[in-house]
Amino acid sequence: MTQPAAASSYLAAAGTLDVVAFQRAQAAIAQGIVTVTGRAMQRHGLPTTPTARAQIVQRILPTVVAARRSSYEAGAAHLRYAARTAGAPTPVPAPIATYSRDVLDEAIEAAVEKTAPRGRVRVTEVDPAVLDQVSRSRPRVRVTVAATVAKHAQAAGRAVVADTADTLGDQVGWARVLTGAENCAFCVMLASRGPVYKTARDAQHRGRNQIDDTYHNNCDCVPTLVFKGRDWEGRERFELAEDLWTEATKGYRQKDALNALRRQLARAEREGWTHQQLLDVLLEENAP
């Protein structure tokens, strides 16, 4: 497998991708990677030892690199769409970052350690002869590893938007756009901040760190290019997220504010409300 077929069809169909099409291309890429990673774990077992991990990395690395190229191309297609929509010149996409075997190996190791039971020794110190055989089929580890690898594949498409914005001066930025029917509190909080321009950017949210910190496993948010003073796709969703954050977190700060938003989103899920319906309820409850 050199490139997820569904992702290829999206790119072949048009030279530009709007937010929805960009997210669909990313989802197709993720699904392809999850499938390939799952098959590798079926063949070699869970990557709970350096040997098993190396075998899995060896098997899936070419597919991950190809998927990152597909993701990058999808991000570049979205850049073209954003520029055309804003009536701005088409930007030259920033180059794709090099992706190494070591990065993939470290990501898989971290994913296993994250899901390992408390009290278990580090996987790098485990003697294969005493491994608990049950761990080879633990669903949680399989899901976390596959989702982590998929996130690394999708990161190239996300990074090209932010990295390209960095090259275009302080009049061009990027914004996080919510695309899912359900979004976690962390995503809503970040989306509520709106466009980020060069003068306000934090370098730790670019490049490789963007893989690790900005997007979680199975996140369906996408970044979009924003030209200052011009309309942009996702503005209405940003304004809704901004208002939702304001109303849900009244009286709270920092971590308590995020937890307050999390409670309100859980409430909306229980009640079957959309974000707009939740906002309407909060506006009524918070009215003087």
What percent of the residues of the chain are helix, what percent strand, and what percent coil, each to the nearest 5? 65, 5, 30
Does residue 248 fall inside a structural domain? no
* pLDDT for position 123: 47
Which residue positions in the chain have pLDDT lower than 70?
Answer: 1-14, 116-137, 181, 198-213
Does residue 287 fall inside a structural domain? no
- Domain limits for position 192: 5-237
Does residue 266 fall inside a structural domain? no
Does residue 274 fall inside a structural domain? no
* pLDDT for position 247: 98
* pLDDT for position 170: 84
Does residue 155 fall inside a structural domain? yes
Contacts of 184 by beta carbon, 8 Å cutoff, 6+ apart: 216, 262, 265
Residue that the structure tokens 């990161």 belong to = 155
Does residue 284 fall inside a structural domain? no
* pLDDT for position 276: 96
Our count of domains for the chain comes to: 1
- 159: Cα separation from own chain's centroid: 10
Does residue 281 fall inside a structural domain? no
Tell me how far apart the alpha carbons of residues 70 and 48 are, in angstroms, rounded to a whole number.
Answer: 29
User: 176 — phi, psi (to 5°)?
Assistant: -85, 130
* pLDDT for position 285: 97
Does residue 242 fall inside a structural domain? no
